[in-house]
Chains A and B, each alone.
Chain A
Amino acid sequence: MIDFVSDLARERGFGPKRIMEVELAAEEALVNILTYAYPKGAGDIEIACKGEGGSRLTFEITDYGAAFNPLSFPVPDLLVELAIRRVGGLGVFFVRQMADRVEYQRKEDANVLTLTFTKRAPRNWENSTHTEGT
């Protein structure tokens, strides 16, 4: 599944670093589905590439597990000292940081997560991590 995503990014002419970021977002999104939508084990996950090409890449990831909206997850506090910093919480954070746009919809019995990527990373991370961390 990750290969499907990175192959498409490569075909669209994304650079190596951006392909890695797309891969990272996709992997984190899929792992979250396995963890929260299908906590008891396996289930179906569909991934489709939407749109008609160009410099934009949109993936629609659908599962039929428990309703779960990754966008409702709290943003981890990254600026606290190590002793009190929480382990985990970075998966959804990476999805949001790497994708230009993240949308969630519950459609009947399905979770539909739509991730859109452009060739360039969406924002200046140095600034965004400061604002998101506080």
Chain B
Amino acid sequence: MESSVRQIADVTLIGIDGRVDHATAKAFEEVIRPHLDDTGVNPLPKILLDMGGLSFMTSAGLRVLMIAAKTCASQGRDLAVAALQPAIAEIFKISRFDLVLKIHPTVEEGLSSLSLEAATLWEAG
């Protein structure tokens, strides 16, 4: 698994590539966890996970996402995922993760839905 983090206006965009399975779920959690802290910034940044490069995901990874979604919901901030490959999108669908977090077809659409400012910055490159 590989990851990258970018701050775009009030959205933290986290890229997750490769496999999130039993062996790498801990690393996945360590990427996400620091962004779930309540830093006192008001409002807290929204979080968008760009999963376009994700090729495999097991229940261990979904567990991390579920905990993140619960934390964000309790903080009143948005957490969304974007750009799932079709096979991964199906995993999300059968486990009804559409009820856990917002799923956007592309990063652009995810940003547009979360923040106009971030979407504009993204479009400007």
B21-32 vs A, Cβ < 8 Å mask (1 yes, 0 no): 110000000000
Kindly list chain B residues whose C-beta atoms are within 8 Å of the C-beta of A78. 95-96, 99
Q: Which single member of B58, B70, B73 contacts A24 (CB below 8 Å)?
A: B58
Q: Is the Cβ of B100 less than 8 Å from the Cβ of A85?
A: yes
Given contacts A24-B91, A28-B58, A28-B59, contact A87 B99 (CB under 8 A): no
Whether A90 lies near B62 (C-beta < 8 A) is: yes
A133 with B96, Cβ < 8 A, contacts A17-B86, A31-B60 known = yes
- Is the pair B96, A81 in contact by a Cβ cutoff of 8 Å? no
Query: Which of chain A's residues have a CB closer than 8 A to the CB of B90?
Result: 17, 125
Number of residues on chain B facing chain A (CB within 8 A): 24
Main secondary structure of the interface of A (DSSP, over half): helix
Q: Given A87-B70, A90-B59, A129–B86 Cβ distance below 8 Å?
A: no
Q: A27-B22, A125-B90, A125-B94 are in contact. Are A82 and B99 (CB under 8 A)?
A: yes
In angstroms, Cα B73 to Cα A81, docked, is: 11
**Chain B minimum-CB-distance residue to A2:** B21
**Chain B residues with a Cβ under 8 A of chain A:** 21-22, 55-56, 58-60, 62-63, 66-67, 69-70, 73, 86-87, 90-91, 93-96, 99-100
- Considering the complex of A and B, which 5 residue pairs feature the smallest CB-CB distances, nearest first? A90-B59, A78-B96, A125-B94, A91-B59, A17-B87
